[in-house]
Amino acid sequence: MAHASGVGARVRRKEDERLLRGRGRFVGDIALPGMKELAFVRSPVAHARIRGVDIPEEHRAAVFIWADLAMDGVKPIRAVSGLPGFKASEQPALADGKVRFVGEPVAVCIAATRAEAEDIAAQVFVDVEELPVNADMLEAVKPGAPRVHEHWSDNVFLETNVGGAIAEIAATAPVKVTRTIRTARQCMVPLEGKGVVAHWDRHVEQLVLTTATQMPHIVRAGLSECLGLDQGLIRVVAPDVGGGFGWKGLLQPEEVVAGWLARHLDHPVRWTEDRREHLVAAANCREHHYEITAYADERGRLLGLEADAWVDAGAYSVYPFSACLEAAQVGSILPGPYDFRHYRCRTFSVCTNKPPIVPYRGVARTGVCFAMEQMIDAVAEAVGREPWEVRLENLVPPDKMPFDNVTKKHFDSGDYPESVRRAVAAIELDGWRARQTRGEPDGRLIGVGVATYCEQSAHGTAVYYGWGIPMVPGHEQAQARITPDGGLELRVGVQSHGQSMETTFAQVAHEVLGIELARIKLVHGDTALTPYSTGTWGSRSMVMAGGAVATACRTLAERVLRIGAHLLQGRPEDARLVDGCVRVGQASIPIRDIAHTWYRAPQLLPPDVDRGGLETTCGYKPKSDHGTFSYATHAVAVAVDPELGSVEILDYVVVEDAGTMVNPMVVDGQIYGGVAQGIGTALYERMPYDDEGQPLASTFMDYLIPGFTEVPHVRILHMMTPSPYTEFGVKGIGEGGAIAPPAALCNAINDALRPLGARVTDSPMTPERIIAAIHDASTSAAASTAEATR
């Protein structure tokens, strides 16, 4: 039964009103009586031994270093992976004897205002003895490279090997193409930085940490480990959070420090990450390097794939995802949505003197898609076919679903080739090809690019226990409670920071119970008020917590029907829930009256009433928790200015399949936002470091994120193949938009550059790189002409 505001309805968001009036409540908005502000003294160099920290005498009481925390038993952050060979790092919340990246917190200063705290920080001098720096991952793995962690045997957190023998294919394949491909280190840049307010609640005797996080329960677990406090003594609250994208999906050193200080000093403290701290000291992501070879037959049918991949994981392993998630994920997902049988991939999570990398929207998939989709285009070029045809040749066809691919990924459902056909039709490829042949009056070069991916999302126990990291998602729980006045309260342990869950979870509950949206309240982001959850990451919230909400609401529906039938003097098996009322034949009673009966007129209840009442907590897992596989094909048309190397996006089409959409407006919003970030990855965003490990971008003047004029009016076409495994057939959709744009744009740019014989392989595809590619092509062309004439 479809409700006007249930699953599938494009309803307006419940969270909008407060946010549109500036009456949300973000961490930085919270001021507690007696609160002091924190400023961190951070390492000015990438690698050094700390000889000492000089603190002016008059500020001694306002400055704390690791020794102060250690004396109190505070432990370093440890995020160990159980994968064999993983080398563990210890990250003290303030540097302990050594600094390993520029921006690493060394001391914390406390004052009435942030400005005064910064005044103190400016007077604290960190005396360092500089050490040789690992600024580049490929150098860092060479023998003799300086060690980031001295007691390690090399700078590799983890090496993984996936797949097996491929030599035979390599020797016999008619087509072989090899590429070296690189993606830049980026920053995640939610518009709100990180922030935390910590205080000790004397009444409840709990440390209360209000923090901009995507995973309050995991932060609590991590804090408990570092501070040596029982989890029962800690409450973590996520208020309104201004975007996360992964940056707020970890335990941060600053949270440990703030938590310790609040307890130690017995007054509230607040730290708000400013933009420079965000860009320089943390929030890094996505630096991959691939050496990759594809083998194919003459039609472009893939016979095998071989790759070595390096990920620059930075100096420490982040809690809870660890330093190896990204690289190891490369190994398992590089084959993408394609069906081929021979595969070998070796990955390295490399430790360098840069900030730890954190999984950013799409995690390894964006890099993987960038690499794999370049290879598909390369194969197409080698066999002289249209790239989209070669995709059709290799994509898993719908009649093979569900399908286990070469790395044992279990694709649940969908028609991958159809997404390509629709995207190619929607972008009107023929028109662009004709325009390419004609040429542009302004001399620009037209190119069209396509990229397809599938995204494993909402993967659960089956996938994560193997990683052996501090967090393994199990049954996701939700609590549902009908209030005495017939409204509904939902409590979930995931956290909404733009994903619109206050609305979409209410839609799910409405679908089951028929209670009006306006009367459904979602409580989230608070360890004291919600069931345990690993939080919001991996495009999992709607699949997992949405499924749990549906399950809990069904349980309540059951109970409501029994009470209703009794009150209507009918049989429970004849009772139905319609529009928020229990009906038996012509008789009907609203849930409101049933709630009233349970809470305020219990004398009327049936004697065998379920004693759980109108409140329940239910756990949920999809039938298969290997993850849902949403997928999409992106097609883009660009104009490349060969004189300046600039790229204009002329049209951008997304054909995606997220299974059943709970709220199509919200799904579109996630895709638009993801594509914008993907365009940033493709064309603009780069966190450059010099040889000394110094970050070269520290403001939005030099770290460019796309704005209104850089993002086109993306066109989205939906396919809807329900997942056979989940409630309503939903699939995870949060990250997808950000995965394909770099690949699609790269292929489009190379399509445009083809007449010049030029090619780009690294992101971001900046004017410098495009001009360099054109220049290289023309010099090598000139050289070969010279060769020929000689």
From the list ligand FES, another protein, none, pick the one residue 12 interacts with, judged by a Cβ distance below 5 to 8 Å according to partner type.
another protein
**Could you tell me how many residues of this chain bind another protein (CB under 8 A)?**
75
Name the residue among 766, 661, 646, 771 with its Cα closest to residue 718.
661
**Position 267 contacts another protein (CB under 8 A):** no
**Position 25 contacts another protein (CB under 8 A):** yes
Q: Tell me the backbone φ, ψ of residue 177, rounded to 5 degrees.
A: -125, 140
**Residue among 1, 4, 61, 115 that touches another protein (CB under 8 A):** 115
**Position 701 contacts ligand FES (CB under 6 A):** no
Query: From CA 348, how far away is CA 310, in angstroms rounded?
Result: 5
- Left (φ > 0), alpha (ψ -120 to 50) or beta: where does 444 sit? beta
**Residue among 171, 701, 786, 788 that touches another protein (CB under 8 A):** 701
Residue closer to another protein, measured from CB, 340 or 360: 360
Q: Is the peptide bond before 33 cis (omega within 30 degrees of 0)?
A: no
Residue closer to ligand FES, measured from CB, 612 or 707: 707
**Position 16 contacts another protein (CB under 8 A):** yes
Cβ neighbourhood burial of 603 (10 Å; 0-12, 13-18, 19+):
exposed
**Position 21 contacts another protein (CB under 8 A):** yes
Segment interacting with another protein, rule: CB under 8 A, options 282-290, 447-455, 626-634, 695-703: 695-703
Residue closer to ligand FES, measured from CB, 437 or 708: 708
Q: Which residues pair with 176 in a beta bridge?
A: 295
Cβ neighbourhood burial of 713 (10 Å; 0-12, 13-18, 19+):
exposed
Least Cβ distance, residue 386 to ligand FES (angstroms): 38
Side by side, the strands of the sheet bearing 581-584 are: 576-578, 581-584, 587-590
**Position 498 contacts ligand FES (CB under 6 A):** yes
**Residue among 266, 558, 691, 768 that touches another protein (CB under 8 A):** 768
Name the residue among 336, 425, 426 with its Cα closest to residue 716.
426
Query: From CA 726, how far away is CA 728, in angstroms rounded?
Result: 6
Least Cβ distance, residue 498 to ligand FES (angstroms): 5
Residue closer to another protein, measured from CB, 225 or 502: 502
Amino acid at 329: Q
Segment interacting with another protein, rule: CB under 8 A, options 100-108, 270-278, 480-488, 746-754: 270-278
- The interface with ligand FES within residues 243-272 (CB under 6 A) comprises 243
Least Cβ distance, residue 243 to ligand FES (angstroms): 5
- State the residue number with the nearest CB to ligand FES: 191
Start-end of H helices in 482-578: 501-513, 541, 547-567
Name the residue among 44, 46, 45 with its Cα closest to residue 140.
46
- Contact criterion met (CB below 8 Å) for 527 and 220: yes
Q: What residue has token string 């066809």?
A: 397
DSSP 431: H
From the list another protein, ligand FES, none, pick the one residue 603 interacts with, judged by a Cβ distance below 5 to 8 Å according to partner type.
none
**Residue among 662, 711, 733, 752 that touches another protein (CB under 8 A):** 711
**Position 24 contacts ligand FES (CB under 6 A):** no
Segment interacting with another protein, rule: CB under 8 A, options 141-149, 472-480, 495-503, 545-553: 495-503
**Position 498 contacts another protein (CB under 8 A):** yes
Query: From CA 613, how far away is CA 598, in angstroms rounded?
Result: 7
Segment interacting with another protein, rule: CB under 8 A, options 74-82, 115-123, 300-308, 555-563: 115-123
Least Cβ distance, residue 636 to ligand FES (angstroms): 23
From the list ligand FES, another protein, none, pick the one residue 297 interacts with, judged by a Cβ distance below 5 to 8 Å according to partner type.
none
Residue closer to ligand FES, measured from CB, 498 or 695: 498
Segment interacting with another protein, rule: CB under 8 A, options 271-279, 559-567, 608-616, 755-763: 271-279
Amino acid at 321: F
10 Å Cβ neighbour count for 158?
Answer: 24
Per-position x/- string for 184-203, each x denoting binding to ligand FES as judged by CB under 6 A, each - no binding:
-------x------------
Side by side, the strands of the sheet bearing 342-351 are: 156-163, 342-351, 302-314, 288-296, 175-182
- Residues forming contacts to ligand FES in the complex (CB under 6 A) are 191, 242-243, 498
